[in-house]
Amino acid sequence: MNRRVLKLRPLLSPQIIALLLILLLNWILFPGFFNISWQNGRFFGSLIDVLNRGAPVAILAVGMTTVIATKGVDLSVGAVMAVAGAAAATLATGGFPLPVILLTSLALGLLCGLWNGLLVAVLDIQPFVATLVLMVAGRGLAQLITEGHIVTFNDPALSFVGTGAFFGVPMAVIIALCLVVATHFALRRTAIGLFIEAIGTNRSAANYAGLKSQALLIAIYGFSGLCAGIAGLIVTADIKGADANNAGLWLELDAILAVVIGGTSLLGGRFSVVMSVVGAIIIQAMNTGILVSGLPPQFNLVVKAGVILAILILQSGQVKDIFSSTRKAATATSLDKP
């Protein structure tokens, strides 16, 4: 196989094909889907809207990918979003300058993530359970910060983070893009990505190989918390308010779904940050598609469930065996059953 085919291969992945199909479907349902216009110094159009609304889930999915790659899961991201958003909104009403607001809420997100990491890495609690604690208690914490109210603020600097535009592109998209690029290079151009995969494949083996898996795990959960903090900030700045009960509700599930669609194995050891982001865009394109097609938004959940089931069937062992049997036969290692 020559090099060019190898390089083109990611472009032909099922995720990209699925995304193109969904976009095509959206275009058939709503012919103006690909129209992008320039108004008030920024781009407008359904496509931009998909990216803009998909940004928070994409950001969560970046953190979630690294966590899932270590064979973990972070259920607390939605609640952490609420915590960070509540802190930002409360500080903004208090008239604090932007850097203080940003740093405090991001630090809170990081702190929540580090707490999860501590439970997982040091106390050796299953990730699913460890992050459940913060998922339950996090919304309570957020309400503690907002004192049970829906805090609204009027700080143009902070709301720029959610609604502003940079060279005509929404800020949320810019932030997500920077995060994705930075994460991708940090993981794939250094050994960190390999370390993560090593932990996900077999943690004790990674330890014996000299990896400091404890510190790395804490850092990864911290990173996921930080991503949740960023997403929380964007959502809060977007609606100019913090609702401790509803901010980020169910987004942990969307983020996990995005990662799964992106082909990252839930069993750890194999991940792709970029594909997870594609997964997040697919989810948002489906949401938008359901909206523009005039179907009631309730169908959203049913369609999502259908997509998860379809992916599970496709990823399951038996179906995979059928597909890979020809490929495996070509390579010499025929360890599987004849």
Partner 1 sequence: MNLRYRPLIATLVIFVLAYALCVSQFPGMWSTRVLGNFLTDNAFLGIAAVGVTFVIISGGIDLSIGAVIGFTGVLVAVLINGLGFHPLLAFAVALGVATLFGAAMGAFIQYLQVPAFIVTLAGMFLARGGASILSQDSIPISHPFYKAISALYIQMPGGGRMSTIGLLMLLTFAIGALVLHRTKFGSYVYALGGNVNSAMLMGVPVARTTITIYAISSFLAGLAGIVFSLYTSAGYSLAAVGVELDAIAAVVIGGTMLTGGYGFMLGTFIGVMLQGLVQTYIVFDGTLNSWWTKIVIGLLLFVFIVLQRLVFRTARRSGPQRKTVS
336 binds partner 1 (CB under 8 A): no
150 binds partner 1 (CB under 8 A): no
Render the burial of 277-293: b for 16+ CB within 10 Å, e for the rest: bbbbbbbbbbbbbbbbe
CB 168 within 8 A of CB 38: yes
260 binds partner 1 (CB under 8 A): yes
Cβ of residue 178: shortest distance to partner 1, in angstroms? 30
Cβ of residue 206: shortest distance to partner 1, in angstroms? 12
Output 104 or 300, the one with its CB closest to partner 1. 300
**Amino acid at position 329, single letter:** A
34 binds partner 1 (CB under 8 A): no
Output 35 or 325, the one with its CB closest to partner 1. 325
Scanning 38-46, 99-107, 135-143, 169-177 for contacts with partner 1 by CB under 8 A, the matching segment is: 135-143
165 forms bridges with which residues in the sheet?
A: 170
- Site size for partner 1 (CB under 8 A): 50
Q: How many whole angstroms separate alpha carbon 31 and alpha carbon 206?
A: 52
Task: Give DSSP secondary structure letters for 50-79.
Answer: HHHHHHHHHHHHHHHHHHHHTT---TTHHH
Task: State the alpha helices, DSSP H only, in the chain.
Answer: 3-8, 14-29, 46-69, 77-93, 98-117, 127-146, 156-163, 171-188, 192-201, 203-208, 213-239, 251-261, 273-292, 299-315, 317-330
Q: How many whole angstroms separate alpha carbon 245 and alpha carbon 140?
A: 9
Cβ of residue 25: shortest distance to partner 1, in angstroms? 19
Q: How many whole angstroms separate alpha carbon 85 and alpha carbon 74?
A: 18
CB 85 within 8 A of CB 235: yes
Output 69 or 176, the one with its CB closest to partner 1. 69
298 binds partner 1 (CB under 8 A): yes
CB 247 within 8 A of CB 233: no
Name which of residues 97 to 126 contact partner 1 (CB under 8 A).
119, 123-126
29 binds partner 1 (CB under 8 A): no
Cβ of residue 312: shortest distance to partner 1, in angstroms? 5
256 binds partner 1 (CB under 8 A): yes
Per-residue x/- track, 179-218, partner 1 (CB under 8 A): -----------------------xx---------------
CB 46 within 8 A of CB 309: no
User: For residue 329, what are the contacts with CB-CB under 8 A and spacing of at least 6?
Assistant: none
Angle at 157 between CA 154 and CA 162, to 5 degrees: 85
Cβ of residue 184: shortest distance to partner 1, in angstroms? 25
Among 14, 94, 140, 156, binds partner 1 (CB under 8 A): 140
Among 17, 37, 38, 128, binds partner 1 (CB under 8 A): 128
Residues that bind partner 1 (CB under 8 A): 71, 73, 119, 123-126, 128-130, 132-141, 143-144, 148, 202-203, 244, 253, 256-257, 260, 266-267, 296, 298-306, 308-309, 312-313, 315-318
